[in-house]
A and B are shown apart, each in its own frame.
Chain A
């Protein structure tokens, strides 16, 4: 009778996973310390705000606009069944501000910013540029991670507000041109559909989602190994991990905010 096979691979996988989480938490704590102590690389923060914020503006504008537009078209047909077409503005504003604006903006940032950070830092790791930074007396966390994390934290909510605004504009254009809802009815419905708690929820969530995207990009990038192939893997992993985490964090954050705000 043979012995029960030891699930060695499972133990290894769990250990690897826990080690990854531990490293991620350590990175977040080091970044938090770096954000509140000297030296602080202000020029890099401004550069990252430009890269993450302005650089993502086009994709966020397009995503927000067309999401709002298609929402108007789809919900218009459904609302017609109840004779509630004039309420299309209410549906769009509530959907965009509470959920679609923050999540879609975060997903766009995960694709654009998370991958970019992982690829950049990953390339620096495999070409020993990170070691060179440390050898030159510069802390890579303060120089590379802190500016990116702060830029993500600042710019994700701003981009979300932009996405919400153009989303409602996209909905308005479709409501007026396709659904024949008057502008006055649409905009008054938009305002009526919103409660201050909804606005808070839509504003609070992107701060956390921005942090998640950038810290995951940095974490995955800094753990890159295996040359150029490793950089490719890190880029893919960063996008997948950030996108899934955005959805998970959004769910738990929404539950928490509902229990607090409502």
Chain B
């Protein structure tokens, strides 16, 4: 459907095989970053495979959100390499980064919706502004993704008319509208009540499993992190979507990374995280 993007990844010479199944979509190699005198990230190395989920845990200020900003090219590392969708994003200029960002989506901590335009215009922003897609097609896609997150009746409202949870779901709809290959979530459930947080978690799971989007989730909400890692979305024979306990191979596709004072303190599956004897991890999980 989204064929009219002005910049395509091919424009920037993406080695397409890198976004094929189970290839690393994101690769951080010995990344260091500091602001003035304060070192934010220290020798951070990890990779995210296509179709997998990476969940970053850690205390506030540990450097989790900074990792997402580095992936988007909103920040540049002091040293080390950041590969995203086959690109060396740390060495790309802003114009080149725009091409890569067309294939990524990000859900910001507070939604970061544009407050002076409607929900529909927010969701369709990328298609309206950056593609030559016919307006009727954009409208249809916007209705489709708003239907996906269960907010299609709010299309003409302003973001200020929605609740906190609805705004996060609109942000998810906006991030997914152009069918990204990689979705980044920055604390998508922080500040939400448990029921609303569960709704947002469900949208993340649905997107990952039904739309095959690689997901990177930053959170300090353990309940949400484990829920996303251990549940999966399936379509029933009547095309209904149900959330069920994930099969073992699916659970293994969700990796946890614990960031502590800018360093990777742990990397492994949900089960490995639960079994860890590290006192810091145990304290964090308690």
Contacts and interface: CB of A to CB of B under 8 A. Distances in A.
Interface of A: 39, 41, 127-129, 131-132, 134-139, 143
Contact of A136 (B94, B95, B115, B130): B130
B169 interface: no
B108 A139 contact: no
8 contacts: A128-B112, A136-B126, A137-B98, A137-B99, A137-B101, A138-B126, A138-B130, A139-B95
B205 interface: no
Contact of B72 (A39, A129, A134, A143): A134
A116 B115 CA distance: 16
B74 interface: yes
A137 B130 contact: yes
B61 to A, nearest CB: 16
Nearest to A134: B74
A143 B114 CA distance: 13
A139 B112 contact: no
Contacts of A127: 110, 112, 115
B249 interface: no
Interface string B101-114: 11011101110111
Given A39-B6, A41-B129, A134 B114 contact: no
A132 B186 CA distance: 12
A132 B112 contact: yes
B101 A128 contact: no
Contacts, number: 56
B234 interface: no
Interface of B: 6-7, 69, 72, 74, 94-95, 98-99, 101-102, 104-106, 108-110, 112-115, 125-126, 129-130, 174
A129 B112 contact: yes
A131 B108 contact: yes
A129 to B, nearest CB: 5
A127 B110 CA distance: 8
Contacts of A143: 129
B110 A128 contact: yes
9 nearest A-B pairs in the assembled complex, by CB-CB distance? A132-B112, A128-B112, A135-B106, A137-B101, A137-B102, A136-B126, A137-B98, A128-B108, A137-B130
B114 A132 contact: yes
B119 to A, nearest CB: 14
Contacts of B95: 139
Nearest to B116: A120
A123 to B, nearest CB: 8
Contacts of A131: 69, 74, 108, 112
Contacts of B104: 135
Given A127-B112, A127-B115, A128-B112, A135 B105 contact: yes
Nearest to A127: B112
A210 B112 CA distance: 31
Nearest to B5: A137
A129 B122 CA distance: 11
Contact of A132 (B7, B99, B106, B130): B106
A136 B125 contact: yes
Given A134-B74, A136-B126, 11 more contacts: A41-B129, A129-B112, A131-B74, A131-B108, A132-B108, A134-B94, A135-B74, A137-B101, A137-B126, A138-B126, A138-B130
A128 B72 CA distance: 14
A135 B130 contact: no
Contacts of B108: 128, 131-132, 135
Contacts of B126: 136-138
A235 B76 CA distance: 29
A143 B115 CA distance: 16
A157 to B, nearest CB: 28
Contact of A135 (B101, B110, B115): B101
